[in-house]
Structure 1
Amino acid sequence: FDETLFGAAWQQLVDRHSILRSAFVWEGVSEPVQVVQRKAVLPFEVRDLRGLADQRERLDAFLAEDWDRGFDLSRAPLVRVTVLRMSEERRIVVWSFHHILLDGWSVQILQKELLALYRALLDGTPAGLPPTVPYRRYIEWLNSRQDDGSAAFWTDYLAGVTEPTALNVDRDTGDTGVGEFEVCASPELFARARDYAKSQRVTMNTLVQGLWSILLSRYSRRDEVLFGSTISGRSIDLPGVESMMGLFINTLPVRGRLTGDLIVSEWLRDLQDEQLEMRQWEYCHLVDVQKHSRIPRGEPLFRSILVFENYPVVHKPSDFPEGLSRRLVNCVERTGYPLTLVVSAGRALEFRFVYDRSMFDAETIARMAGHLESLLAAVVE
């Protein structure tokens, strides 16, 4: 593993993509602005932990220190990379970045390009990457979407909403920090869930949204619930949007109406049709969307969000240089919401609860995860 060339590959990425050279200025200006630097030097560091008896403690201390550093949004780049030498043939790469730069889709693109650049530097050949499509194209498209009828849609969609959906299990725990709890459905249940979704002509995302709606309805004791759903933001009519690096995801309200006599499969299809209609407005700013509800200013539109991870994995084993293997050790990300449910349905169906420990205890979240899994089994059976 050539650390020098690996660092050079990272710098080439920063040079190549304007979003990685971006800073954000909001103080002393009438409107916050994104500022792209012509040149930004990536903070790249190598630390040697080989042969140390307290290696694990040093690693943990570094990770805590790196997290606490955070980022100054007004100084580019909002990215840094540290390589930790753990043994002669093992390295841990710690890559930290602010979410304002990249979404999960972009992360896949970045990793593919990083491997291509690193291999090219090892071989002394051109990487042969296609020209980039700058993120500013998306910003220009976004700024052109004014007075387009979205206000009428959101006013109708949020009619009658006067308060965020209460969870009724949150309380002052006296604790601090962020907790995580993960549960993985059995392979058999996952297979049955996929078969059920396919037979009813709904996506796995719709199925999960339906389950979360039912669960919130039971917890809040309301027939109508509201939660946030994170969407990719890339189904817009903009050439090259699939290959752009930047932040496209958006979190918008999903309204679950559990009234009437519909059987679950019909109700799920109605929910999916509603989401498809909403897709034409998926670029709308959440702060603008909330203005069309009757929830008082300063109150959140929702207290929980659902993130269904379904972006394409664009790199493959053959992209790796010979003799180099890689695995994800850990990924830590945070949102500003009390409760976030992250669902992935790739090789397995995984539910990850990320929660504010000052409002929820571990037992409550574990019970909620159990209820969600029971609901899934009940629906697909």
Structure 2
Amino acid sequence: MAVGEEADPAMLRDHLRQSLPDYMVPSAIVMLDALPLTPNGKVDRRGLPAPDASREERGYVAPRTPVEAILAGIWADVLKLDRVGVFDNFFELGGDSIQSIQVVARAGRAGLKIPVRQLFEHQSVAALATVASTAAAPDGAEQGMVDGEVALTPIQSWFFAQEPGTPDHFNQAFWLMPRSRLDPARLGTVLARLVEHHDALRLRYRREPSGWVQFHGEAAGSFALEVADLSALSPDAVTAALAGAAEEFQRGLDLAGGPLVRVGLFELASGAQRLLLVIHHLVVDGVSWRILMEDLEALYADDSAALAPKTTSFKAWSGKLHDYAATEAARAEQDGWREQIEQPVAPLPIDLSSGPNDVASVDIDTVELSADETDRLLKDVPNLYRTRINDVLLTALAQALAGWTGQGISLIHLEGHGREAVVEGIDLSRTVGWFTSLYPVRLAVDPEAGPGRQRVDDRRVLSGIAFVNRTG
């Protein structure tokens, strides 16, 4: 590229991403004073210099403005890096869509307003800083306690449509090891603040003849805190007691009357403690846990501290999502989704033709990568293939399925965080709830092709991704 004045390669690539898919955006842009020409006046391609990383923005460039400094600090914290240069690419550094939500939430606490979509459109600190604005409480976001009925979201409707035998027992849980001793009374005060601030934690459910109804309950009874002293038990007995407590807590949620949040504080020998957090999945997801953990830590440090302003409520989001589903834009997507599931696909081979097919029957095999392998997988591989880590992993899955079944086509269901900005004026960066999206995707690969020869952004491989990127 020949330019008459200094240009920013990162911003040029951001501009190209607005109209081109990622794999068509050049990985290197070289600035020239003029294009080399042949004697005939045509571009002399042999005279073009090879891309040189030293000529681009890839060397570290420190923040030059206060906004860049704030954003670089947030990126470094979220991505667990020592430092971030203003021309570094968020996704090439290993960032993903869930971490982009964390960035937006932390930027809001720092006084900057950045919609999530802008981080996808402006992928460097320098570019993002140009569109960041001063943040205030999100437009129209209710800052008081939300009440009343809430329309079920698609994922919640899907859950109840499965007719689970024990709908109260479908939760997510975390065991924590406190670095310093927790005071039960102070912990109870903090939990009360959390269920008041995060409206979804007060949701209740009742079954009526027309179906399940979701509504907000009172703050009282929305959580339960129990303290148990296990300090006199032997190590083996402690292990058994903790396992038993976890099972009892997870079976002790009540959709109709509450609580949907149960917390256990266990006293162990030598002053150690364990903290168990159990929340029904209908009101929490992976992104929500990050929000809750940050607020829990902040409030325990100072239980009088003001939490960041609320973003769009789960109730408002659900209502707008139902409105969007009735629009022409949403209806126009239906044929594309049907195409994903209506074409015939050979069933997966199974060992047993009958038996339970539920979460309790799932077995998990774990494979661990070294820190170096993880770093190369998250950063080097996506940059090499000009795609994102999710697409790389899906290609590996597609190849594994093809090798197992002998078929080049597989149909899978993918989960997304579900917080896509399909409606204007919505900010879900600090909203707690179950937002997960579930959607079908056809994977098409050549069973004979080896690693490195597949392209996940091939239209025949992941055509469903285009739909979820627009609609969530």
1:61: Cα distance to partner? 2.3
> What residue number does 2:143 align with?
none
**CA spacing shift, 1:178–1:274, aligned 2, 3 Å:** closer
- Contact map agreement 1:102 1:245 (CA 8 A) in 2: yes
Deviations 1:317-344 (A, max 9, x none): xxxxxxxxxxxxxxxxxxxxxxxxxxxx
> What residue number does 1:279 align with?
468
- Contact map agreement 2:265 2:276 (CA 8 A) in 1: yes
- Over the aligned positions, Cα root-mean-square deviation in angstroms equals 2.8
1:231: Cα distance to partner? 0.5
2:249 is matched with which residue: 39, 49, 66? Answer: 66
Correspondence 1:1-381 to 2 at 5 A: 1-25=182-206, 27-41=207-221, 42-53=223-234, 54-67=237-250, 69-121=251-303, 125-144=304-323, 145-147=325-327, 148=330, 149-161=332-344, 165-169=347-351, 177-194=361-378, 195-238=380-423, 239-259=426-446, 264=452, 267-270=455-458, 274-280=463-469, 282-283=471-472
List runs of 5+ in structure 2 lacking aligned partners: 1-181
Deviations 1:19-60 (A, max 9, x none): 0000122x3231422111133321111001113223222222
- Contact map agreement 1:202 1:269 (CA 8 A) in 2: yes
TM-score, with structure 2 as normaliser: 0.53
List runs of 5+ in structure 1 lacking aligned partners: 284-381
1:229: Cα distance to partner? 1.1
1:276: Cα distance to partner? 4.2
Which protein has the bigger strand share? 1
Q: Distance in 2 between matches of 1:261 and 1:221?
A: 9
Q: Distance in 2 between matches of 1:20 and 1:77?
A: 9
Deviations 1:217-240 (A, max 9, x none): 222222210111111111224421
The residue identity in structure 2 corresponding to 1:76 is G
Q: Distance in 1 between matches of 2:188 and 2:249?
A: 18
- Contact map agreement 2:205 2:215 (CA 8 A) in 1: yes
Q: Distance in 2 between matches of 1:218 and 1:5?
A: 55
Deviations 1:243-292 (A, max 9, x none): 21111111211211124998855622226863541224654xxxxxxxxx
Identity of aligned residues (%): 22
- Contact map agreement 1:150 1:281 (CA 8 A) in 2: no
1:126: Cα distance to partner? 3.0
**SS of the residue 1:198 aligns to:** helix
- Contact map agreement 2:266 2:273 (CA 8 A) in 1: yes
TM-score, with structure 1 as normaliser: 0.65
- Contact map agreement 1:43 1:79 (CA 8 A) in 2: yes
- Contact map agreement 1:84 1:92 (CA 8 A) in 2: yes
The residue identity in structure 2 corresponding to 1:95 is L
Number of residues paired by the alignment? Answer: 277
**SS of the residue 2:363 aligns to:** strand
> What residue number does 2:24 align with?
none
- Contact map agreement 1:167 1:220 (CA 8 A) in 2: yes
- Contact map agreement 2:196 2:219 (CA 8 A) in 1: yes
- Contact map agreement 1:250 1:282 (CA 8 A) in 2: no
Q: Distance in 2 between matches of 1:228 and 1:273?
A: 12
**SS of the residue 1:243 aligns to:** coil
